[in-house]
A = this chain, B = another copy of it.
Amino acid sequence: MPPKRRTKARKQPLQQRSRETVAVILEAAARVLEARGLEGYNTNAVAERGGISVGSVYQYFPNKDALTLALITRFEDALLAKVRDAVAASEGKSLTASLNLIVRAQLEAHAERAGLNRILEAEEDRLRPASSGTSAAGELKELVADLLARHRREIARPVDDDAVEDLIVISRAMVDHALQNDLSQAAATRRVLRAIEGYLFGPRPDS
């Protein structure tokens, strides 16, 4: 056990000035990751890029991982917001149309800063204590579950929690794959939808 390790930030940002500093730190971290990758991502570089001092970084983030985690959360929140909007906008539409909107939302969220988001997703595994569901993940499940419940008569088999989980896993993997291979949004949407709709509507021949 390496002696100890700070788990809480030294200070909470109270004044306007410090809140701006936190924003500067986050954006600087994002830019360093984009420009130099995980390889060149260190707190000194972040401070330099943000035009502030390392000390300031450690005023508001207990350690480097906490900073990275904050970036991850920021991305997840943005993704969730887009999906929420898509679900809201799909009120009254058919299930297929709704799914289309949601898939597009996910693709857009990832595409915005593809390089950065890819790195963050990879780091997520390392940083999140095994199987600790985030609130963002929970809300995403709820959103999808509600949408499917609303359309339950269009779906053959009842949709349980496992199915929702599977749909999210499938979408995420395919969206990542699409971005990695620079697929057009149209192609990516088509392929993800085929998988999702197949899962929902597809036949289950055997017992």
Known: A122-B125, A122-B126, A195-B199. 11 other contacts (CB 8 A): A96-B206, A166-B191, A169-B173, A173-B173, A173-B174, A194-B202, A195-B195, A197-B202, A197-B203, A199-B199, A199-B202
Per the bound structure, the CA–CA distance linking A194 and B162 in Å amounts to: 12
Which residues on B sit within 8 Å (CB–CB) of A201? Answer: 198, 202-203
Q: How many chain copies?
A: 2
Q: Is the interface of A mostly helix, strand, loop or mixed?
A: helix
Task: Tell me which of A165, A166, A180, A198 has the highest count of chain B C-beta atoms within 10 A of its own C-beta.
Answer: A198
CA distance A200 to B191 in the complex (A): 12
Query: Which of the four size classes fits the interface of chain A?
Result: 20 to 34
The answer to whether B162 touches A191 (Cβ under 8 A) is yes
A137 within 8 A of B: no
Going nearest first, the 6 A-B pairs with the smallest beta carbon separation are A198-B202, A198-B198, A173-B173, A202-B202, A198-B199, A169-B177
Contact A205 B195 (CB under 8 A): no
| Minimal beta-carbon separation of A95 from chain B (angstroms) | 10
Chain B residues with CB under 8 Å of A173's CB are: 169-170, 172-174
CA distance A181 to B165 in the complex (A): 11
Q: Is A204 an interface residue (CB 8 A)?
A: yes
- Which of B181, B194, B205 meets A131, CB within 8 Å? B181
Contacts of A199 in B (CB 8 A): 194-195, 198-199, 202
B162 with A170: CB separation less than 8 A: no
A-B contact pairs, 26 of them (CB 8 A): A38-B126, A96-B205, A96-B206, A122-B122, A122-B125, A122-B126, A131-B180, A131-B181, A162-B187, A165-B177, A166-B174, A169-B173, A169-B174, A170-B174, A172-B173, A173-B173, A194-B202, A194-B204, A197-B198, A197-B202, A197-B203, A197-B204, A198-B198, A198-B199, A198-B200, A199-B199
